[in-house]
Amino acid sequence: MSVSPLRFALLLLTLLTALTALTALTACNRLDPDSPVAQRRKVFKEMTKTREHLMDYVKAKKDYDADTAIREAETLQRLSRQPWAWFPEMKTGDAGRAKDAVWQNPEAFHQLAKQVQDDADALVAASHQRSLDALKPATKKLEQTCTRCHDQFRQS
Ligand code: HEC
């Protein structure tokens, strides 16, 4: 019985892909949950979840509820303060997906960190107006700051 070279190559590719995925998975699991990278990622994930709930209102995927929107905005406000302490002043061995720029240009990094906190404050204020029209621009503004910082300081 003979295996065509193409089939063999495909099989090899599949095996390699599986192996790579497995290695990536174990590398993730090995990340010390107390490490700065793990701590800041936990906050970033919660931030994303909360922001998505608000985006559901903005994109009319969910019926707008003013009380929930206020709660979500306040959660984002609280979370927006948290990740930055988990970026140590000196770059350590594991920098996660943070670019060297975080440490090379700390002023710009902290300026954007400050910006997202200001955006979250404005979002809370907007949510208290209890109108989707007020919530929309504030949510989008915050979202733009997330993206701006990721463009400059996070590896894609
Ligand atoms: C001042 C810069 C900055 C701002 C502002 C910022 N981020 Fe990030 N974010 C980063 C960096 C740097 C990383 C890479 C962290 C790492 O891998 O250790 C990251 C990673 C993430 C991740 C990936 C976490 C993971 O598990 O790998 C998510 C999700 C995320 N950010 C969401 C957000 C959201 C949502 C906002 C806005 C509400 C936001 N970020 C604002 C810099 C920023």
Q: What DSSP string runs through 20-31?
A: HHHHHHHHHHHS
What's the pLDDT band for 12 if we cut at 50, 70, 90?
A: confident
The pLDDT tens digits of the residues spanning 71-83 come to: 999 999 999 999 9
pTM of the model: 0.84
Q: Which of 42, 45, 66, 43 is nearest to 54 (CA)?
A: 66
The pLDDT tens digits of the residues spanning 88-100 come to: 988 878 899 999 9
Q: Which atom of ligand 1 is nearest to the CA of 48?
A: 35
* Ligand 1 pocket residue status of 45, Cβ below 6 Å: yes
β-bridge mates for residue 154, sequence order: 98
Report the nearest-CA residue for atom 37 of ligand 1. 146
Q: Tell me the HSE value of 64 on the side-chain side, using a 13 A CA sphere.
A: 16
Q: What CATH class is the domain 33-153?
A: mainly alpha
Q: Where are the domains of the chain?
A: 1-30, 33-153
Ligand-binding site membership of 150 (annotated): yes
